[in-house]
Chain A
Amino acid sequence: MGAFSCCFNLFVQEWGMGTPKMNPETPRPLPATPLPSKVVKDDESALVAAAKAGDVSAFETLVGRYERKIFRLTQNITQNREDAEDAMQEAFLKAYEHLDNFEGNSRFYTWLVRIAVNQALMKLRKRRPNQISLDEDIETGEDSMPREVEDWGPSPEQRYQQTELSGILSQVIGELDPSFRVVFQLRDIEELSTEETAEALGLSIPAVKSRLLRARLKLRQKLNRYFQQGEAS
């Protein structure tokens, strides 16, 4: 089974957990007039509950809260601006459409991340059909072993402006093999657990751990050229 189909099946299973109130393909009925939003805006579970009850503004608040992070996620995975935007948009639309199937077994954001990862992987696979497989054995040879061990100093990121730093991080993560960068994205940027990452990607826990280590070491090595003491302007 290919990596994407594996992920997709897991995704569908997640939607199908428990006793779904309706078929996932059935549009969620909304009241003619949305309920007034009375929930505290910084409470994710209250926002989700209100959105499930038909409060459109509560769902829009959730979109506003996570749009930047989800766009960064899809951008990092697809490495293509158009695909990233499409994947982000489709992720929010699917989340809205299937909100009734979210049962609160995880954070809403974690559920949203899983949807967005699936959308982004689908885009990536379409663009590079023969190159993207997350579940095959990955050669983890000596190329990520530390070759340079120069220190970076206490706060190397402060040598760069925020926008410049964002560009550097985006570039170096884009240079990683997709199999590594998806795992790194979920574990170290979205802060999913090893178990959640394994489940979302259809990988074993040892595979997640192995790829995460390689990804971290490769990124460390790539950031050396920017952060080594005395190297930055």
Chain B
Amino acid sequence: MKPKCSKILSELSDYLDQGIDPALRAEIEDHLTKCKDCRVVVDTTKKTIDIFCNSEPAPLPDDARHRLYDALQRKIRSCRC
């Protein structure tokens, strides 16, 4: 891995989170136009985050939901006593 690519990697999270100063951002974006490997790593890391962030949680299993609401009712009753 080239030194420039290592630098891109170390700044990757801040770059993706928009938490980077404009000069460094411009430097990274200039490098990305020239380096296909870094471009792919940045793009696939962004997709990784998006896929997890946008994924819908599975429905709560019915038995788990029943136990949750039963426990909640018991808690509510005990708080009233």
Contact = CB atoms under 8 A, between A and B. Distances in A.
Interface of A: 27-30, 32, 56, 60, 63, 67-69, 71-72, 85, 88-89, 92-93, 96-97, 145-146, 149-152, 156-157, 162-163, 165-166, 169, 173, 184, 188-189, 191, 209, 212-213, 216-217, 219-220, 223-224, 227
A107 to B, nearest CB: 17
B23 interface: no
12 contacts: A27-B79, A30-B76, A30-B80, A60-B72, A85-B67, A97-B79, A146-B41, A156-B47, A157-B51, A162-B56, A216-B45, A227-B47
Contacts of B58: 68, 72, 163, 166
A93 B13 contact: no
A67 B13 contact: no
B49 A216 contact: yes
Given A166-B58, A213-B13, A216-B13, A85 B48 contact: no
Contacts of B37: 146, 149
Nearest to B37: A149
Nearest to A155: B47
Contacts, number: 113
Contact of B79 (A29, A157, A219, A223): A29
A63 B72 contact: yes
Interface of A, helix, strand, loop or mixed by DSSP: helix
A218 to B, nearest CB: 10
A21 B37 CA distance: 57
B80 A32 contact: yes
Contact of B53 (A96, A146, A149, A188): A188
A67 B40 contact: no
B24 interface: no
Contacts of A88: 64, 68
B34 interface: no
Contacts of B76: 30, 56, 96
Interface string B45-78: 1011101110111111000110111011001101
A213 B44 contact: no
Residue from B52, B60, B80 whose CB has the most chain A CB atoms within 10 Å:
B52
Nearest to B38: A149
Interface string B9-26: 110111010000000000
A185 to B, nearest CB: 9
Given A56-B76, A97-B75, A162-B56, A71 B51 contact: no
Contact of B71 (A93, A173, A209): A93
Contacts of B68: 63, 67, 85, 88-89, 92
